[in-house]
Amino acid sequence: MKKLFKGITSLILSFILITPVNVSAYNVPDTVRIGLEYKYKNVSTVPISETSISVGLNNNMEADFSSSNGGFSVSVSSDYFVNVDESFKYYEDALDEASEYIRKGYTAFPTYKGEKQWEIYIGGFSQYDTANTIAEKVGGTVSSPDSDKMVLKDGSATVLVFDDIKPQIKSKTRDFTLLSDRSYRGVIELGRYLGGNITAVNVVPLEEYLYSVVASEMPSSYNEEALKAQAVAARSYTMTRMTAHSSTGYELCDSTHCQVYKGYGGESARTNKAVDDTKGIMAYYGGSPINAVFHASSGGHTDNSENVWVNYVPYLRGVPELNEIDMNTWKRTYTTSEIQSIVSANGDYVGEVTDIVISNISDTGHILEIQIVGTAGVKTISKEAIRSYFSSNGGSLESRVFTINGKGSHPSGENGSYVPPTDVNPPVTETSVDKFAVLGRDNKSSITYIEDVYISAASGNTDKEKNMIIVQGEGGNSKMYYTKDSGYTGAENSTYTASSPSGVGSTMVITNSTPISTADGSGKFVFEGWGWGHGAGMSQKGANGMGQMGYTYDQILKYYYTGIEVK
């Protein structure tokens, strides 16, 4: 393929974007906590569209309620309440005592304080003085609105107060609980996690969580083996995301930030079977579950992790598609003024746009770098930022396999992309892990020079005959030593691995490159693309195609995730 811009790619020595779970620190949980962010993140009220519910903590349901008004809700409370200073072990006893205060003319409710902890509150009152007057009459104390209070309502009538707890609620009559428009297995936990309002958290068994995830992330009509591969990938990926929202009171969210989760209503019989058939099975690398990222369609070839995000991940190596069924195609047309608006929307300025230069294409056929050229400057955009840069006009680009005015990366092998394999049914084998990463260029690199030398003792290296290069930072600081890997000794695509202690494992590549100008005098930039998503890991359409070719789910996984174990 064509190379772009002669030079040296960026040295990324410390940033890690994809971090596998430490095998010594993780345990596969029985349940997971899913923040229902799509609609119930930091809201004042959560509707519970059930006519009969149970309430409790830690899956211990202590009280049952039946609605006479067609449904329940839980809302925040900013009222003062009067605590009558009596405690009870059971809800029924607290309810009986509350009835006594009601007969005396007070508005009284049982209050849930925790397991086997029930009290009676009178109220609520918007003013402290009003509440204090009642407290003096009944010999109680005023509970201020500063605490973590919520109220359970039957229609508009309050039937229970929650004080400084995060209650769990579930349907009493069904295996799922309906919140307005979505239903969920497990229990719904409600808490004021993010400040003043309520966030709903679905506490659900891991395998039942995957029922919805697999159906939400992959069409249930796909091949059975592809669905199984998706189930194992989703289970493995979940293990690497368990701390994604640790500061918010839950572990995972229900969006693409973690994995799409639509609850019970999003399940299907075929995807549920795929989860059941692979129960407990995960993909591992080095003894840890892998960060099994996936995407809809690669555009003919998946990409290396460092071409998408930041760091080299040994099991996320680009591979050619064997049978990517119904590869996504897309097309967008921008005028020069629209490109200029996109640049402005991103807070940049290049003057009047004159060209878009494709300045780097990876060996996997994905655009690594573009430059928007204007009369007053150049804006360079790399890796996944290329897709998101266009979000202000039509949303992020569908993929990074594209041409602009016919120039760039094409799945057929035109214009410098890879050439698809002629053998479309090769055996799937355990492949060796690459020892290098192909990193995108960075025009702002602080590197000032590189030279080939023989080193006798560099940072503790005592091998006197290693062919090495010295990379020295701006100002003569940050000297780093890189050893040339065997098999990559030519001037083009020469690969070097850091050997000095502070940089072990980091890599760099020297490439020969030629920029591609896409301006054609029309005043337009026509993007034609292939694929959908970031391109790393498993291609779902490719997995579907492999399943139809007769590959098993573990073979599919081992093809897309290099050097893994499935067990």
The two three-digit tokens of residue 347, written as one number: 């807070």
| 81 pLDDT above the threshold of 50 | yes
pLDDT tens-digit series, residues 141-162:
998 887 789 999 999 899 999 9
Average pLDDT on 60-69 reads 91
Q: How far apart are CA 184 and CA 209, in angstroms?
A: 9
Are 377 and 350 in contact by the 8 Å Cβ rule? The answer is yes
Q: What does the alpha-carbon distance between residue 162 and residue 299 come to, in Å, rounded to a whole number?
A: 53
515 backbone dihedrals φ, ψ, rounded to 5°: -70, 150
Q: Report the range of poorest mean pLDDT among 70-74, 105-109, 436-440.
A: 436-440
Residue in 388, 407, 304 with CA at minimum distance from that of residue 345: 388
Mean pLDDT for 298-320 is 92
Please answer whether residues 529 and 397 qualify as being in contact, where contact means their C-beta atoms are separated by less than 8 angstroms. yes
Q: How many whole angstroms separate alpha carbon 548 and alpha carbon 567?
A: 23
Distance CA 542, CA 318 (A): 13
pLDDT at 414: 54
pLDDT at 520: 94
pLDDT at 93 (0 to 100): 95
pLDDT at 434: 25
For the CA atoms of 468, 474, 478, 480, what is the dihedral angle to 10 degrees? Answer: -10
CA-CA distance, 353 to 355, in Å (whole number)?
A: 6
pLDDT at 435 over 60: no
The arithmetic mean of pLDDT across residues 370-375, rounded, is 96
Query: Which has the closest alpha carbon to 380: 410, 348, 341, 338?
Result: 348
b/e 523-561 (16+ beta carbons within 10 angstroms → b): eebbbbbbbbbbbbbbbbbbbbbbbebebbbbbbbbbbb
Given a cut of 80, whether residue 360 has pLDDT beyond it is: yes
pLDDT at 23: 37
pLDDT of residue 558 exceeding 60: yes
What is d(CA 50, CA 28) in angstroms, rounded to the nearest whole number?
Answer: 32
Tokens describing residue 91: 């809800």
User: pLDDT of 418-431, one tens digit each?
Assistant: 443 333 333 333 22
Please give the Cα distance from 152 to 56 (Å, whole number).
12
Residue 352 reports pLDDT greater than 80: yes
Q: Which amino acid is at 419?
A: V
Q: How many CA atoms within 13 Å lie on the side-chain side of 373?
A: 14
pLDDT band at 361 (very low <50, low <70, confident <90, very high): confident
In three-state secondary structure terms, 554 is: helix
Delineate the domains of the chain, giving CATH numbers in brackets: 51-173 (3.30.70.1070), 305-425+515-536 (no CATH), 442-511 (no CATH)
For 241-255, write each residue's pLDDT tens digit: 998 898 888 999 999
> What phi and psi, each to the nearest 5 degrees, are found at residue 179?
-110, 100
Tell me the three-class secondary structure of 79-98, residue by residue. Answer: CEEEEEEEEECCHHHHHHHH
Whether 206 has a pLDDT exceeding 50, the answer reads yes
- More confidently predicted of 323 and 427: 323
Please report which confidence band the pLDDT of residue 413 belongs to, taking 50, 70 and 90 as the band edges.
Answer: low
**Helix/strand/coil for 139:** coil
226-239 pLDDT, tens digit each: 999 999 999 999 99
| Residue 514: predicted pLDDT | 63
Of the candidates 243, 411, 240, the residue with the CA atom closest to the CA atom of residue 327: 411
Is residue 547 within 8 Å of 413, Cβ to Cβ?
no
pLDDT at 490 over 50: no
- What is the DSSP-derived secondary structure letter of residue 433? P
Interatomic CA distance for residues 219 and 230, integer angstroms: 10
Q: Which among 137, 23, 115 is positioned nearest to 62, based on CA atoms?
A: 115
Give CA–CA dist 14/12, Å, rounded.
6
pLDDT at 205 over 50: yes
Residues 262-303 pLDDT 10s: 999 999 999 999 999 999 999 999 999 999 999 999 999 999
For residue 188, is pLDDT > 50?
yes
pLDDT exceeding 90 applies to what percent of the chain?
A: 66
Measure the CA–CA gap between 175 and 64, rounded to whole angstroms. Answer: 15
Percent of the chain with pLDDT over 70: 77
Instruction: Check if the beta carbon of residue 179 is closer than 8 Å to that of residue 200.
Output: yes
* 55 beta partners: 63, 169
Mean pLDDT, rounded, for 299-312: 92
**Residue 416 confidence class, pLDDT cut points 50, 70, 90:** very low
